[in-house]
Structure 1
Amino acid sequence: MADEIEKEPIGLHNLKPAPGSRRPRKRVGRGEGSGLGKTSGRGQKGAGSRSGAKDRARFEGGQMPIHMRMRKLRGPHMKKSMPFEMFRTSTQGVNVQDLEARFEKGAEVTLDALKTAGLAKKADVPVKILAKGEITKPLTVHAHKFSASAKAAIEAAGGTAVTIES
């Protein structure tokens, strides 16, 4: 008979919750034998035993709540202000001195080449070439962004700066 039930296709008429996932509701104040009689699980005295007790989340016993104690700073320009991290854009910087040290003259510097050289390891974060240091080798550099002085330094060394559209 159990095999017949298993073979029956699932439909609205035979859906049941998983065993143990649904518990009967707690019936308080229904006698001492129930385990929740007399004080109904509220304890003896105090604010929590009274009706209208503040048992909501974030209630701090009458103390000034944290959202009122915290300073009110607005705007995305301060890191300690409101949480704008989800809107913050980020890039991973690579300096021209690192390109000079790790790549040969006339090399094609792509995102994969930067990754293998250990410079731009994060795959999903755009790469920006920055102008710290000097570059003397002509390189063809592919990146998402270039600082103006980095682009000028690469082109002054005889290389080209190719912007990747992402």
Structure 2
Amino acid sequence: MTYLNTTISVKIKKIRVGRGIGSGKGKTSGRGVKGQKSRSGVAIKSFEGGQMPLYRRLPKRGFNPIRRDKIAKINLDLLNKLLDSNKISSSEKINLEYLKKNKIISKSVTQFKVLGNGELNSKLNIEADFSSKSAIQKVEKAGGSILVKSNKD
């Protein structure tokens, strides 16, 4: 005879280990023989039965900030080469959006800095997040201007 939608609860007796040979869990109490795992009070730290342990499943973070801004560093000699190869125009205002649009820097870059390595031959209007002092001097010497949004140098 079958009964629908009924659950039968059966109380299962707790296994009492170490209570004699007749119980089937006597002497070594189901722990096997000798070794670290047979001793009381000893656990193998972070061992998960062969499963990949949690500390190896999670990514490493360490000393690298996760949300660090990507800053593109552009030297004056690179700007000069881009002018010579007509990839940028001296009449345009050179800023982050302009450099991304012309595929000079990556789309993931959030800020850019102008550095003073090299010489500049023509005047440029640059709008940068950061700039070195030597870059500002060299651009102004060439007749251009740098508008720095936030200068940390």
* TM interval, short-chain normalised: 0.5 to 0.7
Structure 2 unaligned regions, length at least 5: 1-13, 18-23, 48-61, 83-87
- 1:84 paired residue among 63, 68, 91: 63
Letter matched to residue 80 of structure 2: E
Q: List 4+ stretches of structure 1 deviating above 6 A.
A: 27-30
CA–CA distance in structure 2, aligned partners of residues 150 and 28 of structure 1 = 79
1:95 aligns with 2:75: yes
Q: CA RMSD, aligned part only?
A: 3.0
Radius of gyration: which is bigger?
2
Superposition TM-score, scaled by structure 2 size: 0.57
* TM-score, normalised relative to structure 1: 0.53
Matched, 1:44 2:37: no
Q: How many residues align?
A: 109
Where does the alignment leave 5 or more consecutive residues of structure 1 unmatched?
1-26, 31-36, 59-82
Q: Is this contact kept in 2: 1:154–1:160, CA < 8 A?
A: yes
Q: Distance in 1 between matches of 2:72 and 2:115?
A: 10
Q: Does 1:160 align with 2:148?
A: no
- Kindly report which structure 2 residues correspond to 1:123-138, keeping only aligned pairs within 5 A, or say none: 123-138=108-123
Name the % identity.
Answer: 31
**Whose relative contact order is higher, 1 or 2, with alpha carbons under 8 Å and at least 6 apart?**
2
1:90 deviates by: 5.6
The aligned runs of 1:47-86 (5 Å cut-off) are: 47-57=36-46, 83-86=62-65
**For the Cα contact (< 8 Å) 2:32–2:38, is it kept in 1?**
yes
